[in-house]
Amino acid sequence: MAIARVSRQNEAMNKSTIYCDYNAGAPVRAEAAVAMARALATGGNPSSVHRFGRRAHALIEDAREQLAAMLNARAENIVFTSGATEALHLVLSSAGVASLILSAVEHDALFEHATRALGVKTIAPVNSDGPLDLAKLAALLADAPRPALVAVQLANNETGVIQPVRKIAALCREHGALLLVDAAQAFGRVPLSIAELDASYLVVSSHKIGGPSGAGALVLAPGAPFSTSRFGGGQERGRRPGTENMPAIVGFAVAAEWAVRDMPTELRRVAAMRDRFESKLPKDAVVFGQNATRLSNTSNFALAGVPAETAVIAMDLEGVAISSGAACSSGKVKSSRVLTAMGVAPALAKCALRVSFGHESKDSDVDAVLAALTKVAARRRVLEGASP
């Protein structure tokens, strides 16, 4: 009865809400859900030697091969994890480097751990549009104890700004540094190859592309240093102990397959939606990172005088799900460190909102978001005594 009740609640919510928060998490693709259900029905521990264990193990290895083909990697160099956060932390604890350089706009999954737990203070700045300042990165690399590790998000989760990773990789090679690329937001949204990026480590995630939460992967380049600091049952070739989440891994691989297959047409489709959305925003709206190369699905913008914290709630009441520029795990809105790094004034940064489209988005969603946003902004201005 409880399952049926939750199902009815989800169905009602899906019918009444326009979902435009794909960068936080995409709805699970039907194909992935079906594959997961079949995987659950197989049962078995992947480490067991009987037929049930062998069957579960085979499903994981099939998924590993699928992801390897999509990422131009070797299957044996893919380490399944519980998500991108764990994968990033694995690199920090296993790369064996003398110093770490972070971009100022890294995801909190890495930035907070590196600065608070590891005490990292070497932060590479970005310019006002969001890409790394390559000259300053080169200077930091020249002074950094070797070997150094540079950590950079391929595509920023807030602004969608895409970093010039090939140029960053060239600087890393010049200074004998390793490169960690967080591609959680980019996978399935831009062509991705660990070899072409010239990265030492690549991190991808399931729930951004319509797979289940709780699955991700660390991809190692051939020869990339990795000395595990975790020990247990020897799973994932001894690099990540713990029984694998086989159904989630299967769903991850299926979702990735569909996302990559549909990517050429989806890139154009969602880009048209995003561009139309931004063209219809009020004239006083500020779009962040619009002069840089961005993910085609992402718009990070602000309406001065409309605080994000109240706007997100008001939009939800209007039946539209969007997010602020930066939301922490507790669901509260906080000031965006990314926009601060880009030089955005604090008052404007507090008004940052993010709309992100995806595989279930429709053209009519753009109109619905704009209508709700206009209503919310007008209501706020009336409350402040200004004309709507």
pLDDT of 2 strictly over 50: no
Question: What span, in angstroms and rounded, lies between the C-alpha atoms of 13 and 35?
Answer: 24
CA distances from 345 to 289, 294, 327, 350 (A): 14, 21, 18, 9
Report the percentage of the chain scoring pLDDT > 70. 91
Looking at residue 289, what is its pLDDT?
Answer: 98
Whole-number CA gyration radius for the chain: 21
Greater pLDDT, 384 or 286: 286
CA distances from 263 to 117, 203, 368 (A): 37, 19, 25
Greater pLDDT, 290 or 229: 290
308-317 helix and 363-383 helix, angle to the nearest 10 degrees: 120
Q: Which residues have CB under 8 Å from 184's CB, separation 6+?
A: 84, 107, 153, 157, 203, 204, 205, 208, 216
> Which pTM does this prediction carry?
0.93
Looking at residue 379, what is its pLDDT?
Answer: 83
pLDDT of 346 strictly over 60: yes
Confidence of residue 1 (pLDDT cuts 50, 70, 90): very low
Q: 198-235: b or e for each residue (b if 16 or more CB lie within 10 Å)?
A: bbbbbbbbbbbbbbbbbbbbbbbbeebebebeeeeeeb
Q: What is the pLDDT of residues 63-113, one digit of tens each?
A: 999 999 999 999 999 999 999 999 999 999 999 999 999 999 999 999 999
Active-site annotation holds for 328: yes
Sorted by where each starts, the structural domains of the chain and their CATH numbers stand as 2-27+267-383 (3.90.1150.10), 30-257 (3.40.640.10)
Question: What span, in angstroms and rounded, lies between the C-alpha atoms of 317 and 338?
Answer: 27
